[in-house]
Amino acid sequence: MLYVVFIGVLMGLANLIPGVSGGTIALLGGLYERFVGSISMLTALKIRREEILFLIELVVGIVIGIFGFSALIDLSLSTVPSLMYGIFSGLVIGGIPVVFKRIEKLGISALLSLAAGASIVILISLLSPGAGGVALTDHGPITLAYDIVAGFFGASAMVLPGLSGAFILLVMGEYTRAISAIKSFDLVIIAFIGAGVILGVLFVSRLLKYLMKEFRSETFAFLLGLMIGSIPDLITRPGKNTDLVLIVTGVILGVVVSYLLTLLEKRNKTQV
């Protein structure tokens, strides 16, 4: 299905950008619960043909997004950071009503979960990336082992809306190495980071599947908190290069794109 591949491409693009979550895009596109559920079923060895095909389509889109647009995203972030981070902020803002609707009961426990999610992202955003990061082309065993660890934590964040996997890689000093490996098609580094990514996605998806079943309102409130907490970091990320007009323009564009995605998702549902 072209729609699933399209959302996968957008998820791939999001996962390249510090501060933006592929999980947010999956939520906007209406595929988040199915994505988490499909991976959870796969890890439980409950294999169904339609879910395998769904995951293949989504992964194809993610791969296209990552490998096809990494250079363009890198260029855009360096030339018009205010516009780009404004767009990313708008996407997150536009996704807030989508997640809020999934909270069935906004009680004390859900509010505490929301506050916890927002606090976690804000605390993470206050951390500074390690100076220098990891050597870009080192294939030593210790560095490759670290690639797996970084990939695991980065992927764990990628699955959670509002918590950016790329930002976790940035904090761990791994982001530049990962982007460099993608650009130069360094299969060794890509394979080790990829192994960590797969492990992280499998672990977190199983956990989320359980939580969404047993504590649905609290889980989505926590995810909503992650999204809300990411907005201040996104808005201020351009730093000294901030252009207020471009930021506002980007936010408006992002909200519009977010709204169009939800319309596309509703239209896709009616055609299924």
Each residue's pLDDT tens digit, 160-170:
766 667 777 87
Is the Cα dihedral 221, 23, 82, 121 positive or negative? positive
Q: For the chain, give the mean pLDDT.
A: 82
C-alpha span between 193 and 181 (Å, rounded) = 10
pLDDT band at 130 (very low <50, low <70, confident <90, very high): very low
Q: Is the pLDDT of residue 131 over 60?
A: no
Q: Whose CA is closest to 226, among 116, 94, 111? A: 116
pLDDT at 193: 92
55 vs 48, which has greater pLDDT?
55
Q: Is the pLDDT of residue 84 over 60?
A: yes
Q: Helices 141-159 and 187-214, interaxial angle, to 10°?
A: 30
The residue with tokens 């870009």 is 136
271: tokens are 């055609």
- Condensed to tens digits (0 to 9), the pLDDT of residues 242-268 reads 899 999 999 999 899 888 877 776 666
- Condensed to tens digits (0 to 9), the pLDDT of residues 4-39 reads 999 999 888 887 876 667 887 887 788 888 888 888
pLDDT at 19: 61
pLDDT at 191: 94
Mean pLDDT of 64-68: 87
Q: Is the pLDDT of residue 180 over 60?
A: yes
C-alpha span between 271 and 260 (Å, rounded) = 17
pTM here is: 0.69
Close Cβ partners of 38 (under 8 Å, ≥ 6 residues apart): 51, 54, 55
181: tokens are 């490996």
Q: Helices 2-15 and 244-271, interaxial angle, to 10°?
A: 150
pLDDT band at 272 (very low <50, low <70, confident <90, very high): very low
Mean pLDDT of 125-129: 62
